[in-house]
Amino acid sequence: MKKVYSTATEALEGLLSDGMTIAAGGFGLCGIPELLIDALVDSGVKDLTIASNNCGVDGFGLGKLLDTKQIRKMMSSYVGENAEFMRQYLSGELELEFNPQGTLAERMRAGGCGIPGFYTKTGVGTVIADGKESKEFDGQDYILERGIVADLSIVKAWKADDTGNLVFRKTARNFNPPAAMCGKVCVAEVEEIVPRGSLDPDTIHLPGIYVHRLIQGDHEKRIEQRTIREA
């Protein structure tokens, strides 16, 4: 199976449709699939449901899709750092399904493992539990959370071989592995594609069986909040 494509646009060809659900890796601006997000903007696909830790910042990352109003609903755990997100949500233009961070990651991982749902204590007794099935285990209350299965996953890795085995670098190994797992189709962008067999199997963070398409490109790697010390 051919997995390596020349551009993000080519890698997404035939995969996009209005109203689809997309799982996106990354945390803030760390490890985000910048090139694939730009290709989504250019495609004009709309009414998207995006499952991602947050929605980038104003004018960058997933925030670009907010600017073009291509997102209908966000499934997120953190919604700060983005004034346009706040404006659209408060005005009723954007739907939000709020998740505790660990719950969101586990929902993605569960979906990728074929697990339709799981019980967790996180959120019991809060608005997170509203409308969800509750069950008692060993005298403790737990709520049922559903696994996420997305139509498409878009993720960013450091290295890959041409079979799609992925290696993430440091904190970019955040939501990327579970996001990649839960998509019916996964498209990954990487900084370097190395020869097959050159990756130590013990260093591979996500096996290529989860990855269907792959591109290599240059990335801006913008710093979300620059903190410096006075001289």
Mean pLDDT throughout 136-145? 97
**Which residue did the predictor score with more confidence, 1 or 135?**
135
Q: What is the pLDDT of residue 79?
A: 83
Q: What is the pLDDT of residue 220?
A: 84
In the CATH hierarchy, which fold is given to the domain comprising 8-216?
A: Glutaconate Coenzyme A-transferase (3.40.1080)
Predicted confidence (pLDDT) per residue in 106-124, tens digit: 999 999 999 999 999 999 9
* Confidence at 176, pLDDT banded by 50, 70, 90: very high
pLDDT exceeding 70 applies to what percent of the chain?
100
Mention every residue, 6+ apart, whose C-beta is less than 8 A from residue 98.
Answer: 76, 77, 79, 128
**Token pair of 127 as six digits:** 């608005």
Count CA atoms closer than 13 A to 133's CA, side-chain side: 7
Distance CA(119)–CA(35), nearest Å, equals 36
Q: Are 94 and 71 in contact (CB under 8 A)?
A: yes
Q: What is the pLDDT of residue 173?
A: 93
Distance CA(114)–CA(180), nearest Å, equals 14
**Which residue did the predictor score with more confidence, 226 or 23?**
23
